[in-house]
Chains A and B, each alone.
Chain A
Amino acid sequence: MLRTILLESRKIGFLAAVLCCGLAPAQTSLSVASRIVASANAFLSSLDEGQRSKVLFEFNDAAQRMKWSNLPTTMVPRAGLKMGDLSGPQRSAAMGLLAATLSKRGYEKVLAIVEGDEVLRVAGGGRGSMFGRDLFYISILGKPSVKDPWMLQFGGHHLALNITMAGPDGILTPSLTAAQPAKYTVDGKTVRPLGAENDKAFALINALDEGQRKQAILNYKVADLVLGPGQDGKTIQPEGIKCSAMNASQQAMLLELVGEWAGIINEQAAAARMAEIKANLSGTWFAWSGPTTNGMPAYYRIQGPALVIEYAPQPLGGDPTMHIHTIYRDPTNDYGKKSLGH
Chain B
Amino acid sequence: MRRMGVSALLALSLAGGAAAHRLDEYLQATLIGVTRDGVEVEIHLTPGVATLPVLMAVIDQDRDGRISPEEERAYVGRVAREVELRVDGVRAPLSVIESNFPTVEAMREGLGTIGIRLRTARSGHELRFENRHLPQVSAYLVNCLAAPSDGLVVSRQQRDEAQRSIEFEYSFGAGAAAGPPAAWIALGSFWPAAIGMLLVARMAVLIYRAKHDKRAVHPL
Tell me the complex Cα distance, A223–B141, Å: 7
Tell me the complex Cα distance, A238–B12, Å: 22
Tell me the complex Cα distance, A234–B27, Å: 19
Closest CB pairs A-B (n = 7) = A230-B16, A233-B182, A342-B184, A223-B139, A228-B19, A236-B143, A235-B146
Tell me the complex Cα distance, A342–B157, Å: 32
Q: Residue B157 contacts which of A226, A230, A233, A239 (CB distance < 8 angstroms)? A: A239
Which of B118-126, B158-166, B211-219 has 4 or more CB atoms under 8 Å from chain A? Answer: B158-166
Which of B58-66, B129-137, B185-193 has 4 or more CB atoms under 8 Å from chain A? Answer: B185-193
A342 B154 Cβ-Cβ under 8 A: no
A62 B186 Cβ-Cβ under 8 A: yes
Given A71-B18, A230-B17, check contact A221 B144 (CB 8 Å): no
In the assembled complex, which residues on chain B have CB atoms less than 8 Å from the CB atom of A237? 143-146, 154, 157, 168
Q: A29: CB under 8 A from chain B? A: no
CB-CB nearest in chain B for A225: B19
Q: A300: CB under 8 A from chain B? A: no
B185 A65 Cβ-Cβ under 8 A: yes
Q: B68: CB under 8 A from chain A? A: no
A222 B19 Cβ-Cβ under 8 A: no
CB-CB nearest in chain A for B14: A230
Tell me the chain A residues, 111-148 only, with Cβ under 8 Å from chain B.
none
Q: A80: CB under 8 A from chain B? A: no
Q: Residue A60 contacts which of B106, B160, B188 (CB distance < 8 angstroms)? A: B188
Given A71-B18, A75-B111, A230-B17, check contact A219 B159 (CB 8 Å): yes
Q: B109: CB under 8 A from chain A? A: yes
A230 B163 Cβ-Cβ under 8 A: no
> What does DSSP make chain A's interface, helix, strand, loop or mixed?
loop
Given A62-B185, A75-B109, check contact A234 B22 (CB 8 Å): no
Tell me the complex Cα distance, A238–B183, Å: 23
In the assembled complex, which residues on chain B have CB atoms less than 8 Å from the CB atom of A331? 181
A223 B27 Cβ-Cβ under 8 A: yes
Known: A220-B161, A239-B157, A316-B48. 15 other contacts (CB 8 A): A71-B21, A75-B109, A219-B161, A220-B160, A221-B139, A221-B163, A228-B20, A229-B18, A231-B19, A232-B13, A234-B31, A236-B143, A236-B146, A315-B23, A316-B22
Tell me the complex Cα distance, A318–B22, Å: 11
Tell me the complex Cα distance, A239–B48, Å: 28
26 contacts between A and B (CB under 8 A): A60-B189, A71-B18, A71-B21, A220-B159, A221-B139, A221-B162, A221-B163, A222-B141, A223-B140, A223-B141, A224-B19, A224-B27, A229-B19, A231-B13, A232-B12, A232-B13, A233-B180, A233-B181, A234-B9, A235-B148, A236-B146, A237-B143, A316-B48, A335-B185, A342-B187, A342-B188
B163 A220 Cβ-Cβ under 8 A: yes
CB-CB nearest in chain B for A236: B143
B184 A337 Cβ-Cβ under 8 A: yes
In the assembled complex, which residues on chain A have CB atoms less than 8 Å from the CB atom of B88? none
Tell me the complex Cα distance, A69–B140, Å: 21
Q: How many residues of B contact A (CB 8 A)?
A: 47
Q: B24: CB under 8 A from chain A? A: yes
Q: Residue B145 contacts which of A71, A229, A235 (CB distance < 8 angstroms)? A: A235
B29 A220 Cβ-Cβ under 8 A: no
In the assembled complex, which residues on chain B have CB atoms less than 8 Å from the CB atom of A337? 181, 184-185
Residues of A within 8 A of B (CB): 60, 62, 65-71, 75-76, 218-226, 228-239, 315-316, 331, 335, 337, 342
A315 B19 Cβ-Cβ under 8 A: no
Q: Which of A76, A225, A239, A316 has the most CB of B within 10 A?
A: A316
A234 B157 Cβ-Cβ under 8 A: no
Tell me the complex Cα distance, A219–B166, Å: 12
A232 B16 Cβ-Cβ under 8 A: yes
Tell me the complex Cα distance, A67–B16, Å: 9
Given A220-B163, A224-B20, check contact A232 B145 (CB 8 Å): no
Tell me the complex Cα distance, A232–B110, Å: 22
Give A256 Cβ to nearest chain B Cβ, in Å: 26
Q: Residue A230 contacts which of B18, B21, B181 (CB distance < 8 angstroms)? A: B18
In the assembled complex, which residues on chain B have CB atoms less than 8 Å from the CB atom of A71? 17-19, 21, 111
A315 B24 Cβ-Cβ under 8 A: yes
Q: B25: CB under 8 A from chain A? A: yes
CB-CB nearest in chain A for B166: A220
Q: Which of A68, A75, A226, A237 has the most CB of B within 10 A?
A: A237
Tell me the complex Cα distance, A230–B9, Å: 11
Tell me the complex Cα distance, A177–B29, Å: 21
Tell me the complex Cα distance, A69–B112, Å: 13
In the assembled complex, which residues on chain A have CB atoms less than 8 Å from the CB atom of B29? 224, 226
B20 A231 Cβ-Cβ under 8 A: no
Q: Which of A65, A220, A331 has the most CB of B within 10 A?
A: A220
Give A239 Cβ to nearest chain B Cβ, in Å: 6
Chain B window 145-177, contacts with chain A (Cβ cutoff 8 Å), 1 for yes, 0 for no: 110100000100101111100001000000000
Tell me the complex Cα distance, A229–B17, Å: 7
Given A224-B29, A226-B29, A316-B110, check contact A234 B140 (CB 8 Å): no
